[in-house]
Amino acid sequence: MNRPVALAAVSIAKNYGVTPVLRDVNISVQQGQIHALIGPNGAGKTTLFRIISGEIDPTAGRVQLRGDDITGIAPRLLTKRGVGRNFQVPRVFNGLTVEENLTIALEAADRWRNSGSRRDGRWVGSPRSWVREEAHQRLETLGIPQLFERPVAELAHGDRKLVELALTLAQEPSILLLDEPMAGMSPDEVLRCADVLARLHAETDLTVLLVEHDMETVFRLASQVSVLADGVVIASGEPDQVRSDPAVREAYLGKAAS
Ligand SMILES: Nc1ncnc2c1ncn2[C@@H]1O[C@H](COP(=O)(O)OP(=O)(O)OP(=O)(O)O)[C@@H](O)[C@H]1O
């Protein structure tokens, strides 16, 4: 079923100095879709991710959010427009507990949404009980309620990444940009994180653009896969179609052989 396009990269080009890194890249992410961006090392995935998330400007082309031009809009402003993202190094307050991290994120998101007005008949900021309750509920959804009172500094890498995901989700994004969310995770953590994303996708209408190296995860989660190689999209389609595409096989095997 064709859904509206939530996010699009239109004819994106990027040069670093005189070196072209992306050339005429077009990607359309439909609402409610998990769209994976894959490709061999150095293909330009992170560069495209950083352009889409507003971190760097393209040399040419546009980024569109539900049809609106958002090219070059700063990440914090994109957050306000419903775009959430993760970072390669999780952005969490290490000196605080998971609960403290999440309550700060929930209260900040609530304040942003309501601009200091009321929520559920209570003044924003003062009633920590509903925030605490909600924080706990959200950790349960992510399968990590046992971490509630733990200092973030003591957590395993995979758990920290899940906590960061909880903080990003606290902003209630409609679009989630994930750059290698499984990087550095143990196989067990990868499975847990993939489960969480699958569940979120099944239970909400969240749109996800996922850059990921773990092919098993990509083919399990994504309903659409785009493949970048040497700065060009060489294939885009359903996972099975992309998996059997000769150009995709060649791009991967060629790199492996060299
Ligand atoms: N800031 C930069 N300045 C100059 N060249 C850069 C910069 N960032 C990336 N590059 C180059 O651009 C090309 C694409 O890099 P990019 O990190 O986007 O690829 P990638 O597909 O994400 O790779 P990987 O899978 O290894 O993370 C590479 O040749 C890289 O060396």
Give me the DSSP letters along 44-102: SHHHHHHHHTTSS--SEEEEEETTEE-TT--HHHHHHTTEEE--SS----TTSBHHHHH
Residues 234 and 201 in one domain: yes
Structural domain ending residue among the three candidates 157, 172, 187? 172
pTM of the model: 0.88
Residues 179 and 78 in one domain: yes
pLDDT in tens, 6-59: 999 999 999 999 999 999 999 999 999 999 999 999 999 999 999 999 999 999
Residues 77 and 99 in one domain: no
- Separation between Cα atoms, residue 70 and residue 77, nearest integer Å: 10
Residues 187 and 72 in one domain: yes
Task: Tell me the CATH number at 28.
Answer: 3.40.50.300
Which residue minimizes the CA distance to atom 5 of ligand 1? 16
- Separation between Cα atoms, residue 78 and residue 82, nearest integer Å: 6
Residues 78 and 102 in one domain: no
Domain that holds residue 52: 1-82+175-257
pLDDT in tens, 100-134: 888 888 888 777 666 644 444 444 544 467 888 88
Q: What ipTM was predicted for this assembly?
A: 0.97
CA of 64 to the centre of ligand 1 (A): 23
Residues 106 and 210 in one domain: no
Instruction: State how many domains the chain has.
Output: 2
**Substitution site in 12, 15, 19, 21 for ligand 1 pocket (most atoms within 8 Å of beta carbon):** 21
Pairing of strands 34-38, 207-211: parallel
Q: Is 198 exposed, middle or buried (0-12, 13-18, 19+ CB in 10 A)?
A: middle
Pocket of ligand 1, beta carbon within 6 A: 16, 21, 39, 41-47
Ligand 1 atom with the shortest distance to the CA of 16: 4
Residues 95 and 164 in one domain: yes
pLDDT in tens, 76-97: 889 889 999 887 666 778 888 9
